[in-house]
Structure formats: structure tokens, C-alpha cells
Amino acid sequence: MLELKYDADGLIPAVVQDALTGRVLMLGWMNAESLQRTQASGEVWFWSRSRGKLWHKGETSGNVLRVRELRADCDADCLLIRAEPAGPTCHTGRVSCFWHDLEGEALPPPHGSLLDYLSDVIAQRRHADPSHSYTARLFAEGRARIAQKVGEEGVEVALAGVAQDADRLVAESADLLFMLLVLLEEHGVPFRAVLEELLRRHQAKSRAADRMAVAQK
């Protein structure tokens, strides 16, 4: 069992990250008891330094953090909690607590991945001037055209995978991912929903594999 290094007050910092998108959500503090409760319940508990007591994240708002993975850093003096948020993490109602710069100006929530960022950019450009934005022009052409473009790019990826080099495969794959994000936005489907479906399938297969392993014992 790894021996964690708590500070003089018996606390250790814990960074919370969205398990699906990789977005940084918040920083909290834990003591040994809050960590134990987190592990036992599957939901994040902290130690509130301002109130001097244990704090179940989301106990009043319902915006709990469901734990997917717990890690310690190389010095064992900081934790990383990969969690699934049930709603906005910040008490202000924002997705992430890291929502302003060092001057105090409000910022969009941090992105966890490039695809996460691109999905937001596509949503913003949807209502731009089609004469100045290729993305806006795609939306102006309609859903059928966007779906057609996804199909065309899929064929290009397949052809690149069979008959062309790695650079062409990379380029065509990038085109396909972009078009897919546009189609998702056209349908009003958040990119997160796709990640959730992938996670659901992975978990279902993992459970099936576990049951098979038990049956073979």
C-alpha cells in the first residue's frame, strides 16, 4: 500500500479531472478519513478547511463526483481523481472552477482534449457568416449535405488505409473527425455523449469478460 504524504495539518491536495473529457474540474483537500469515504462510497469527499469538517461534494446541489480512478503523483503528496460529474462542479454553476484568468476576467471552461475544444469551436461558428466561415457554410447547406460529407470522408479514410501512405491516412482521418463533430453539432448531440457510449460499451465488455473468467475457474 502506497504511503501518502499528508501535510502538517493531515491534508493532501486532490485535483479532480473529468474522466471522459480530461477537463480539469477543481482542486480540493483530503484527509485520511475523506479519502477512505471516497473509496468506500465511490463518490468524492473532501475536508473543508473553511468549515473544519468533512464535505461530501454535491451533498446539497446533487452535483456529485462519481469516482472512476484514483492516482497519486510521483512524490505521493498529491492526488488525481478522475471522476464523472453529475452536473456543474463549481459552486457558481460553471463546469469547472478554473474559469477566470489572473486578471479576474471570465474565461470559457478549460478543455481536456483537442476534440473537446473543436466541438466547442464548431458550436460557436455555427451562427457565423457563411461567407467567412467554412463551418457556418456547412450548416447552411443542411443536414443531408453534412451527412454526405461524413460519408465521403469515411470512404477517403478507407482508401488511404488501403492504398496510400501514413501521412494521407492522418490527413483524411482529421477531415473525417472534423465532419463527424459537425454532424453531431447539427443533431444537437454533445461530443460527451459519444464518449459516454464508448465507456458504456467498454464497461459492458469488461463485465462480460469478468463473468467469463469467474465461470472458467
pLDDT, tens digit (0-9, with 9 covering 90-100), for 165-214? 999 999 999 999 999 999 999 999 999 899 889 988 988 887 777 777 77
| Ramachandran area for residue 10 (φ above 0: left; ψ -120 to 50: alpha; else beta) | left
Per-residue pLDDT of the chain (217 residues; tens, 9 = 90+): 899 999 999 999 999 999 988 999 999 999 999 999 999 999 999 999 999 999 999 999 999 999 999 999 999 999 999 999 999 999 999 999 999 999 999 988 888 888 988 999 999 999 999 999 999 999 999 999 999 999 999 999 999 999 999 999 999 999 999 999 999 999 999 998 998 899 889 888 877 777 777 777 7
List Cβ neighbours of 131 (8 Å cut-off, separation of 6 or more). 137
Domain spans in the chain, listed from the N-terminal domain onward: 1-110, 114-216
Residue 12, beta-bridge partner list? 30
Residue 197 grid cell: 457510449
Contact 186, 177 (CB under 8 A): no
Q: Which CATH class is domain 114-216?
A: mainly alpha
Q: Span 1-110: which CATH code?
A: 3.10.20.810
Which helix (H) or strand (E) covers residue 108, if one does? Answer: none
Question: What confidence score (pLDDT) does residue 28 get?
Answer: 97
List CB contacts of 69: < 8 A, sequence separation 6 or more.
Answer: 19, 81, 82
What is residue 199's predicted lDDT score, i.e. its pLDDT?
Answer: 85
Instruction: Provide the pairing of β-strand 24-30 with 12-18.
Output: antiparallel
CA–CA separation, 165 and 159 (whole Å): 10
Structure confidence at residue 177 (pLDDT): 97
